[in-house]
Copies of this chain bind each other. A is one copy, B any other.
Amino acid sequence: MWAVAQEQRGAERGLDTIAEATRLWREHGWSDAAAGMAAVTSLMRAQQLVLARVESVLRPLGITFARYEVLMLLVFSQRGTLPMSVIGSRLQVHPTSVTNAVDRLQGAGLVERLPHPTDRRATLVAITDEGRTVADKATAALNSEVFGRLGLAEKDLDALVGILSRLREDAGDFATRKPR
C-alpha cells in the first residue's frame, strides 16, 4: 500500500489532514457542513486504507475483495449456486461488475456458469470445489490478518457498524426484494 511505503521510509507522526480540513471549513463559514465533510472524507480515506490491506492479504490467493465477496455469497448459499442478478442485488453493484468478477473467477476455475433451469435469460453461477478451497483459505487469512486486527476496540467496531448501518439505510442500501 502506498501510505505504508511512505510511512516505512521513515517519517514522524504527521498532522491529520482531515482535522485540518475541518478547521478550514469552519473558518470559511461552512460550519453546518463541516462535520459531514469530515465524515465523508474520513470514510473515503479509511476505505482506501482498509481495502489496500485486504487486497494485499488476498493477492497471494489470486483473488480480489470483489471476487471474494462473490465466492462467499456462493459458499453461504444452499446449493452453491446463485443467479447473476441475485449476486448483483446482494452486493449492490452494477450488473457489469458481476459479469466482470464472474468472468475472472471462471477463468481461474473457481466458479462455473450454468444455464438457469427455468429462465433462459438468466445464468446460474456455481462455485467449484477449488472455489470453496480458495474461499476457505481467504476467510482464514482475512479473519486473522485483517478483520481481527483493525486496531479498534470492540466497542468502537460495534459503534462503527451501527452508524454506518444508519448511513447506508438513509442512502438506500439494504437489500431490496421485488414486491410480493
Contact = CB atoms under 8 A, between A and B. Distances in A.
Interface stretch (A99-107, A114-122, A125-133, A158-166): A158-166
Number of copies: 2
A176 B36 CA distance: 25
B54 A158 contact: no
Secondary structure type dominating chain A contacts: helix
A124 interface: no
B167 A50 contact: yes
Given A33-B147, A152-B39, A163-B152, A172 B46 contact: no
A62 to B, nearest CB: 20
A176 B40 contact: no
Given A42-B161, A143-B30, A166-B152, A177 B3 contact: no
Interface of A: 1-4, 6-7, 10-19, 21-22, 24, 30, 32-40, 42-51, 53-54, 65, 72, 76, 89-90, 92-94, 139, 142-144, 146-152, 154, 156-161, 163-179
